[in-house]
């Protein structure tokens, strides 16, 4: 059966985007994969074997996943109530909150990371506030530490957690919550049985966005923690720029891509499975 003229026209409309995705993503990824297995003697998985056989490599993988998990969890804990506050705010307040949330996205990551490197210094705003409030007796070392890296990364990625949750909270029919309250349901029971299940798709999307970005961040670790704490992204840059070992750098990049893709695909599977169950 031949395609209808309307289907052909729709296909032509998608052609520019398809060509762009092919040129900007598919071809570079194919070249990266080829570089990771390319050796003078031919195709080989030696770069993968050498990297995975090194104990230091597994420490770097642990650093990367550990920081990404911390950033994702803290962003969820902060972003979940913020999304509700944003969804239930009045018109003007909601507009102000949205501007405050979205406006930082227009600022480059380099600028925000460098700003946090100033704020987290011993004489920075954060330590001055902690000492002034009496929480600590003397400035705490935050810059070039894992805690400082997590704080800066959460600030950068928080909007990507809040906005997906906000989008589903906004669609919740408040009559469902009111009906549960009328039937004698406690606040915790209402949250657990009504509110939380309805917000799970937004949570899954937010976790997917934040984790996939946090696991591959490069600028933020470079400015906030430096060379003493390696992640996969900084190790990739080191392999390409300093060691001039392209197969090793490409192999690490492919492994990092597989981690990010696994999270995205797992999130998509969870979302589909959740929709079927509900």
What's 80's domain CATH number? 1.10.3720.10
Residue 262 structural domain: 54-277
In angstroms, the CA 2 to CA 4 distance is 6
Write the pLDDT tens digit of every residue in 220-260.
998 888 877 889 999 999 898 888 889 999 999 999 999 98
Nearest C-alpha neighbor of 236 from the set 261, 224, 219, 212: 219
What pLDDT, on a 0 to 100 scale, did the predictor assign at position 18? 81
* 1 inside domain: no
Q: Is 5 contained in some domain? A: no
Tell whether the torsion through CA atoms of 216, 218, 224 and 225 is positive or negative. positive
Mean pLDDT of 42-55: 90
Is residue 141 assigned to a domain? yes
d(CA 159, CA 121): 25
Q: Is residue 145 part of a domain?
A: yes
pLDDT at 3: 54
For residue 81, tell me if it sits in a domain. Answer: yes
How many angstroms separate the CA atoms of 82 and 97, rounded? 9
Q: Is residue 111 part of a domain?
A: yes
pLDDT value, residue 165:
95
Count the domains in the chain.
1
Strand spans (E) along the chain:
38-39, 42-43
Q: Establish if 6 belongs to a structural domain.
A: no
* pTM for this model (two decimals): 0.86
Q: What is the mean pLDDT of residues 99-107?
A: 84
């Amino acid at each position: 059966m031949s395609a209808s003229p309307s289907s052909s026209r729709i296909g032509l409309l998608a052609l520019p985007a398809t060509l762009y995705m092919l040129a900007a993503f598919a071809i570079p990824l194919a070249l990266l994969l080829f570089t990771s297995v390319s050796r003078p003697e031919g195709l080989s998985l030696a770069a993968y074997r050498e990297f995975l056989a090194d104990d230091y490599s597994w420490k770097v993988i642990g650093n990367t996943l550990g920081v990404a998990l911390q950033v994702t969890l803290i962003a969820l804990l902060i972003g979940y109530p913020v999304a509700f506050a944003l969804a239930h705010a009045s018109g003007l307040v909601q507009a102000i909150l949205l501007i405050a949330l979205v406006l930082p996205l227009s600022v480059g990551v380099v600028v925000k990371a460098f700003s946090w490197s100033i704020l987290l210094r011993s004489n920075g705003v954060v330590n001055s506030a902690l000492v002034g409030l009496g929480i600590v007796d003397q400035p705490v070392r935050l810059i070039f530490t894992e805690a400082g890296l997590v704080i800066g990364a959460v600030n950068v990625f928080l909007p990507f957690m809040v906005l997906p949750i906000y989008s589903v909270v906004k669609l919740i029919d408040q009559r469902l919550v009111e009906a549960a309250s009328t039937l004698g349901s406690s606040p915790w029971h209402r949250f657990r049985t009504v509110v939380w299940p309805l917000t799970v798709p937004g949570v899954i999307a937010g976790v997917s966005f934040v984790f996939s970005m946090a696991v591959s961040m490069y600028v933020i670790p470079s400015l906030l923690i430096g060379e003493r704490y390696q992640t996969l992204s900084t190790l990739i840059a080191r392999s390409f720029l300093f060691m001039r070992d392209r197969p090793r750098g490409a192999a690490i990049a492919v492994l990092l891509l597989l981690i990010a893709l696994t999270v995205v695909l797992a999130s998509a599977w969870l979302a589909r499975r959740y929709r079927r169950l509900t």
